[in-house]
Every structure is written in C-alpha cells, then in structure tokens.
Chains A and B, each alone.
Chain A
Amino acid sequence: MTVNPIGLDYPMKDARDRVVGTMRFTIDHEVEGMAHARVVRSMVPHGTITSIDTAEAAAMPGVIAVVTGADLAADDRIASPFFGIGRKDQPPLAIGKVRYAGEPVAVVVAETERQARAAAETVWPEIDETPFATDHLEASRPGAPVVHDDWPDNACGAFRLHRGDPDAAFATAHRVYEMTYTTPSANPVPLEPHVGVAHWEDGRLTMWSSTQWPHVVRNELANIFGLEREAVRVIAFPLGGGFGAKGQVKMEPLIACAALVAGRPVRLQLDRDEVFFTVAKHAATMRFRTGVDADGQMIAREIELHYDAGAYANTTPGGMGNAVVRSPGPYRSPNIHITANGWYTNTVPTGSYRGALTTQVAFAYESHLDEIAHDLGIDPVELRRRNLLHDGDEYATGESMHDVHFAELLDDVANAIGWGESAAADGDPPHIRRGRGVAVILKSTPTPSRSEARIACRADGTITAYSSGVDMGQGLSTTIAQLAASALGVHPDVVDVVDPDTDITPYDAMTAGSRLTHAAGIALGHAATDLLAALAELAADQMEVAVDDVEHVDGAVVVRGAPAMRTSWGQVLADAGVAELARDGVFQSEGGAFAEPMDVKGVASVHWHQGAVAAEVAVDIETGKVTVERCHGAAFAGRVVNPTRARQQSEGSIIMGLGPTLFEEYLLDNGQLVNPNLSDYMIPSVLDVPVALTSHNMEHVDRANNEIHGVGEMTIPAVAPAVANAVFDAVGVRIRDLPLRAERVLRALDAQETTDG
C-alpha cells in the first residue's frame, strides 16, 4: 500500500535538471523566425512627449520596426492600449506623457538583439519636462504635480476600517503612544529577469512569459487586442525566481504589441536595470497611535497608512484594502480606526513583493508594540502575550478568528533565541553590543479567490495533474504531484505535472499570496474524488459488482474482500474503450471584506497566515553596523507537505527579509533611480546569512489536505521588526525608518549620546 506522500521529503521532480543545467526556463525559449526587441526608456521623471525621432533607428541594419506609444494609439488592431489590474491606466509605451524615469517610450525590433540595441541608442525622445513628485506624502498634498489627469489629486486607492469607539477608548487610556514609521521602495530581484516571446498566427496570440499570473495575463492581452480570451494563449515555464516581481501584467503587452507591428514573433529579455524600472515594492509612511490600559492591553488604536503607488496603479487601488486588514497585526483591537491611501508618484510602478503590503505594516506595528513595552516596563514578549489573538476572538474586521496559533509561535521563537537570557557573548570586543528582538505577524491570503485543477488518468496507465500554478523555485510542481498522489492513493512518481498553459491547464487566479498549496490542494482533492468515483463505476460494471464494493489500491481497483480481483486503472479504461478519463476540481473561497471601501468588514481571509521571528544582533557602536548573528522563524503550516521545502521557504524568507531590513532601498536623485544594478543596490549574500538560522513549521499531522496553510511568506514580514527590536535591545536606539543602515544607526547613537549627555 502506497504511503501517503504528504509530510515526506519527496525530492523535487526537476532537481536533476536544475542542478545540471538542463532545466528549461522562458529565458531559453526560442521560436522560429523570432526577432528581438529593445526598449527605449524615458530619461526624465515627468513630462510631455513632443516628438520621438525614429528615422535613424529605422534605417539601421536589421531593424524591422520602431514603435512608439503614438503608433499604438493609432493602430486600429489595438482595441485599448492600456492595461492594469486596479485601473487600466498603463500604456505599454508612454502615450503623450512620461510619468517616471525609466518608463518605456519606444521599442525597436530587429533581426538580432545586438542590432536592436544599437538602433535603440539612436532613438531620442524630446520631452518637455514638468515638475515631478517622487515622495508619496508630497504627492498627496494639494498643488502637487499631477501624475494622471484623470486623478488630479493623485489618489490611488483608499480604504477605511472603523470598529468600536476609538475616541472614547483613547479618552480612558492609561497612556497613549504615537509614532510614525517608514519603509522604502525595493526590488524583488529575481535571478531570471522578465522575459517573453509573443507570436501571432492567424489572429491568435501565443505568449510565452515569465509570469506568476498566466490566466490574468491572458485576460489582459485579450482586452488590449479586443480578442476572445480563447484567442490568447499564455504559456509559463518554471520561473527563475518571482518573489512578486512577475505578478500581474508586466512586459507582455509591450512584447505582444511589438510582435503585432513587426509581423514577426518577438522576444524581449530585460536587462537588470530594466527589472528595477519595471516593478518596485511600495514605499510606505505609517502613523500608529495606540492607547493602552494599565496592564498594557491595547484598548484604542488609530492607524494611518500611506503607500507609494508609483506611476501606475497596478494593484494599489484594491491593495489598500489588504493594507488595512493586515495593519492591526495579530492583536485584539476592540476600538480601532484605520485608513490606507495609495498615492501616484513619478516613480517606478509598484507591485507585489514577497509579503506584499505586509512587510511595511509589520515593521510598524511590531516596532510600535516594542516601544510601548519598554515605556511601560513590561517585557516585550509578555506584552505581546497579553494582546495576541486567540481562537474565537474577533478580529478588527469583525470576523471570528479560527485556527489561531500566534501565542505558540511567539513562544517557539522566544525559546529558540534564549529570550530572557543575557545576549552578551564572551570574547566580544568592547565596541560590540548584542541584543535580541521578536516579532509576530499575520497576513491575509487573497479572499475570495479561485483555483481549478484537473487530473487525467489514461488507458496507457499514465496520470497527469493540470494546474496553472507556477513553479518559481518553490517546487510547486512537486507539491502538486504530492497532493494529487495523496488524493489518489498513488506514489508521486507516477503523477506527471503539466506546466501552466492557458490552453491546457485550468484557471488559477495567481501564484501569489502563499495560496497555491492550499488552493490547488483542495481543487486537486475534489478532482481526485470525482475521478476515483468514475473509475469505480467503470470497474464495477466490468467486474459485475456493486460500486460500493470497489476499492482503490495503488492505482488499481480491487473488489472488497477479494483482493485477487484487481485491475489497474489503465486496464479499466482500456477495457472500457476510454483513452482518457479526466475530472476537474474547483477551489473557490468565500468571504471578502472590501465591498464597501470606506467600511471594511467581514471575512478578509479564508484563513490567516501566521509567522514569527526572533533575532539576535551584534551592533558595532563605533560604526553603527548591525550584524544579524542568529535568527529563528516559525510559521503555522497546518500540515507540512514537504518538510525540507517548507523549511527552505521559512529560512529563505528570512534571508530575503534581511535585505530591506539592513540595506536594500531604491535611491533617487532628482527623480532618477541611481542604483538600478546589483553593484549599487545590495541584496544579502551568503555571508550575510546569520551564523545560526533555524525555523519551525508548526503543524498538526492528523490534518486533512484541505487544511494546509501556505508558508511562502510567513517569516519575511517579521524580520525587520525583530531585528530593529534587537537593535534597541542592544544599544537603546529606536530606528523607525528602514533600512537599518549603519550610518543611520550611528547617527541615532550620536543623538542618544547628546540627549543622555
């Protein structure tokens, strides 16, 4: 009898291909007759396009087409040259005006990439520069430069939550605290840049793209070209990293437009600097005001969030709802008022960044709580315990919380870091100070959302699982094989998994929000149940027994009580003359809290993601440099599908989180991004990984496959506040602005000395 593969370290199906270099990514894909594109970008952050001289480029060797935004606007094959999830405000190429430095203004298509590059350098857009705003608070003020004429106040989404009577509660509070925190913009930095190939044939578009959202890309492309969805096919090979950068719609409309105008299949692969120009994390400014009673219970809260949308809306308008519901953190909030506003600025358009919209607020609320604890003289872990949500508590949204494990996670990380013991280490030089910090976070998963899956069984004995979930290094295809195998009662080796292809694999909303293992698991479970029932019916007919007497064992049917009467599923189908038997399953979560943007309430998340991190830092008080020496993360997984990969998710999240905590940030000068490369923009290297890095994925092993939680981004939001809290513990300075740059810490130490002196 096959062992249930859930909870086993089943190796990644493509591990060998990844190691020896035979893994196929979109970056490797070629189409016969393919031409190459190169993007010309705006050098200025804001202005009106007066002309774009393309004549010289068009005459250069190998050039097939030079396309501008004006060309797209005039092309009657393009129904609407605008795209966007929240608002259709983004053109593939700037039309009329540019809104950020680095925005595409023209694309050159040539026979070779080198020819396209050479020609692109000769294209010179004339742009009348206008005043620009790169700071979201500046953009929010009356009289600020207007990024979109349709949104003269630069408003890009607004949500509000009000619960209880915060004013009255503040009036009775023992103490009231108010602090403002900021986090900067950053880039997810996937190793594989955005890359795609578009191919038009007989009015039908095929798009190979490094995307996390293939079905959404298909729908957006259909909308742009006025096509039926079925006339667009999107194929996504496994990604060389995503981390949110390849969410929503990115370069696909531009590539498809270029291919349409050029009359050739067109490939575009971005350079690293262009990845920085394509998507950024939301910078944020967050004011937290909290009233506590004498025991430290948070009885009144007021949260004011401002997110930088960048030049185009993308997910920001709706995303502000997610920012609202994630901002209270894992705490009881009986009286709370929250507002979240997105603001257009003349900066790189924003999108998902692992832990989307959550890493910002988590830094704020977990730093804030630490500040309150220290002021009240209450141990920070103890103050958290007094306020954490438990099963049955009502959240700020009014929903009743279930399957809540924050207290266990907090205890786990506190114990792992040695909370309560001295952090000082023997042998440290006198300029080194050590400290420890903790943070606990929650994150909603997109709700409601939909995932479909299909399982097919064939007369030749093969079994195939179909999902549009994208493998981006997390090993999703292997997870799908494990989940399908578990539901069918077979070994994962016998389940093939098909890469996402909108012509073949059924609808899936997105590979994002740590939702796929949960959602696809449920959809595959339904598909397997129906498939097994159909096989049983066929077999019962063939064996002339009652359906109820048919059992499934290791990919075969047997008659209950007569194990010798055994027929493989393939044989059952062959005997029935059925080449393939397939069944679909659907995951459709219910709920939603955003029907009324000014009155957020309801079930914001089908279940809540839960994570915690504890960190120990060493701070050099002469340089301000922070070194994270130890880190432990904990997440609630419900049921772990694959222990090694789940651990890698939690620990990988921590490593990734160290970047924006310590040194990652977009640096602007006069509206220009000055560090769009991996020499001037830092990501953590292997030497930045804490000497001791551990994690624990909490689970209940008796759980069914439909109670699995995602673990892709449970620890990352807790990293920055845990480290910032540890810095405070070490040296007594509170840094409310990320990253915790050495210079910033040293200046704070200087200021502390001045104050104390």
Chain B
Amino acid sequence: MPTWPSASTYHKYISRSSEDRPCVGVAAAARFAGDEIARLTVTVGATAELPQRFDDVTDAVHGGVLDADTRAQVAAAYAERIEPISDARGSAWYRTRMVEVFVRRALEDLAHAHGVAGGVR
C-alpha cells in the first residue's frame, strides 16, 4: 500500500517583512494513481477566521489529471469560496487574488513532483 500522500507542499506567502505572519498559507497534498489524481486536499490558512478546506472542490477532480486547466479550476474555486479577512497584510480583495495564485502554485508543485505530463506552467 502506498502511503498517503505521494506529494505534498506548503506555500507561506508573506506580503511584508520576512518576520511577518503570512498573508496566505496553502498546504496541498495529493496521491496519484498513474497520471490520475487518486486523492487531493488543499487547505488555506491565514486568510479567514479558520483554516479553509473545500473537499467538494478537490473531490471533483479525482480521477482527472492535475494539468494546468485543473490547477486553475481548483485555484479559482478556492478563491471564489473563501471569504477572507482584511488587515495590514492585505485586503480581502488582495487575499482572494493571493488564494488563487498560491493554490495554483501549490498544485503546480504537486504536479511537478509527480512529473505530470506537460510539466509546470
């Protein structure tokens, strides 16, 4: 039995000094069966009151390939679903944008680690 996950990553995006708390944090993990996504979870922290995870969004791509379109689809869905806070690290508008950027970059890491056809970006 392969252990869960086969690839994982964490992106800590700091918008100000290196000592700042994150503006957005994204943890992502995946298990692949061949080129197919067997399981995918994405958790976004530092953006709302609580860490945010939308399993329905990631479940929807199980069985697919983690290609650029899929990555963009998941990233856009997270950006759409999260209601971010506003503070000195970024407004809600900005955090929404950063959620999309960093979910996408996290998924690129997973795809890259697995060697998904077409590579990263």
Q: Please report which residues of chain A, range 731-752, place their CB below 8 angstroms from some CB of chain B when the two chains form the complex.
A: 741-743, 746
A675 at the B interface (CB under 8 A) = yes
Find out whether the CB atom of B101 lies under 8 angstroms from the CB atom of A623: yes
Tell me the minimal C-beta distance from B103 to chain A in angstroms. Answer: 12
A679 at the B interface (CB under 8 A) = yes
A683 at the B interface (CB under 8 A) = yes
B121: A residues at CB distance < 8 A: 429-430
Tell me the minimal C-beta distance from B53 to chain A in angstroms. Answer: 22
Q: Which of B34-42, B59-67, B77-85, B91-99 contacts A (4 or more CB under 8 A)?
A: B91-99
Q: In the complex, what distance in Å separates the CA atom of A741 from the CA atom of B90?
A: 9
Contact A687:B91 (CB < 8 A) given known A430-B121, A622-B101: no
- From B17, B18, B88, B98, A623 is in contact (CB under 8 Å) with B98
- From B15, B88, B90, B97, A680 is in contact (CB under 8 Å) with B88
Q: In the complex, what distance in Å separates the CA atom of A741 from the CA atom of B97?
A: 15
Tell me the minimal C-beta distance from B20 to chain A in angstroms. Answer: 6
Q: Please report which residues of chain A, range 514-535, place their CB below 8 angstroms from some CB of chain B when the two chains form the complex.
A: none
Find out whether the CB atom of A746 lies under 8 angstroms from the CB atom of B94: yes
Tell me the minimal C-beta distance from A622 to chain B in angstroms. Answer: 5
Find out whether the CB atom of B88 lies under 8 angstroms from the CB atom of A742: no
- From B18, B94, B101, A743 is in contact (CB under 8 Å) with B94
B16: A residues at CB distance < 8 A: 662-663, 682, 741-742
B21: A residues at CB distance < 8 A: 679
A743: B residues at CB distance < 8 A: 15, 90-91, 94
Tell me the minimal C-beta distance from B69 to chain A in angstroms. Answer: 18
Q: In the complex, what distance in Å separates the CA atom of A682 from the CA atom of B101?
A: 24
B90: A residues at CB distance < 8 A: 742-743
The interface on chain B, measured as residues whose beta carbon lies within 8 A of the other chain's beta carbons, has a size of 18
Contact A663:B17 (CB < 8 A) given known A623-B98, A623-B101, A746-B97: yes
B49 at the A interface (CB under 8 A) = no
Q: In the complex, what distance in Å separates the CA atom of A684 from the CA atom of B17?
A: 6
Chain B contact surface mostly: loop
Contact A687:B18 (CB < 8 A) given known A430-B121, A742-B90, A743-B94: yes
Q: In the complex, what distance in Å separates the CA atom of A380 from the CA atom of B5?
A: 53
Contact A623:B19 (CB < 8 A) given known A675-B88, A680-B88, A746-B94: no
Q: In the complex, what distance in Å separates the CA atom of A682 from the CA atom of B13?
A: 15
A688 at the B interface (CB under 8 A) = yes
Tell me the minimal C-beta distance from A627 to chain B in angstroms. Answer: 10
- Per-position contact with B for A655-676: 1 when CB-CB < 8 Å, else 0? 0000100110001000000110
B98: A residues at CB distance < 8 A: 623
- Per-position contact with A for B95-112: 1 when CB-CB < 8 Å, else 0? 001100100000000000
Find out whether the CB atom of A625 lies under 8 angstroms from the CB atom of B15: yes
Closest to B19 in A: A685
B18: A residues at CB distance < 8 A: 685-688
- The number of residue pairs between A and B whose CB atoms lie closer than 8 Å in the complex comes to 49
Chain A contact surface mostly: loop
Q: In the complex, what distance in Å separates the CA atom of A741 from the CA atom of B15?
A: 8
Q: In the complex, what distance in Å separates the CA atom of A643 from the CA atom of B19?
A: 31
A429: B residues at CB distance < 8 A: 121
Find out whether the CB atom of B15 lies under 8 angstroms from the CB atom of A742: yes
Most buried by A among B13, B16, B18: B16
Contact A667:B88 (CB < 8 A) given known A623-B98, A623-B101, A746-B97: yes
Q: Please report which residues of chain A, range 620-673, place their CB below 8 angstroms from some CB of chain B when the two chains form the complex.
A: 622-623, 625, 659, 662-663, 667
Closest to A674 in B: B88
B15: A residues at CB distance < 8 A: 623, 625, 663, 741-743
Find out whether the CB atom of A688 lies under 8 angstroms from the CB atom of B13: no
- Per-position contact with B for A405-442: 1 when CB-CB < 8 Å, else 0? 00000000000000000000000011000000000000
Tell me the minimal C-beta distance from A717 to chain B in angstroms. Answer: 21
Q: Please report which residues of chain A, range 230-258, place their CB below 8 angstroms from some CB of chain B when the two chains form the complex.
A: none
Tell me the minimal C-beta distance from A551 to chain B in angstroms. Answer: 57
Q: In the complex, what distance in Å separates the CA atom of A32 from the CA atom of B18?
A: 43
Tell me the minimal C-beta distance from A295 to chain B in angstroms. Answer: 42
Q: In the complex, what distance in Å separates the CA atom of A746 from the CA atom of B23?
A: 14
A625: B residues at CB distance < 8 A: 15
Contact A685:B94 (CB < 8 A) given known A667-B88, A675-B88: no
Q: In the complex, what distance in Å separates the CA atom of A430 from the CA atom of B121?
A: 9
Tell me the minimal C-beta distance from A662 to chain B in angstroms. Answer: 7
A683: B residues at CB distance < 8 A: 17
Q: In the complex, what distance in Å separates the CA atom of A682 from the CA atom of B90?
A: 14
Find out whether the CB atom of A623 lies under 8 angstroms from the CB atom of B91: no
- From B20, B87, B97, A682 is in contact (CB under 8 Å) with B20
Find out whether the CB atom of B19 lies under 8 angstroms from the CB atom of A682: yes
Closest to B15 in A: A742
Q: In the complex, what distance in Å separates the CA atom of A107 from the CA atom of B33?
A: 69
Closest to A686 in B: B18
Q: In the complex, what distance in Å separates the CA atom of A684 from the CA atom of B14?
A: 13
A680: B residues at CB distance < 8 A: 87-88
Closest to A665 in B: B88
A687: B residues at CB distance < 8 A: 18-19
Between A and B, 14 residue pairs with Cβ closer than 8 Å are A623-B97, A623-B98, A680-B88, A682-B16, A682-B19, A683-B17, A685-B18, A685-B19, A687-B19, A741-B16, A742-B15, A742-B23, A742-B94, A746-B94
Q: A688-B18, A746-B97 are in contact. List 5 more A-B contacts (CB 8 A).
A: A623-B15, A663-B17, A742-B15, A743-B90, A743-B94
Name the 10 nearest CB pairs between A and B, nearest first: A687-B18, A682-B17, A663-B16, A685-B19, A743-B94, A682-B16, A742-B15, A685-B18, A622-B101, A688-B18
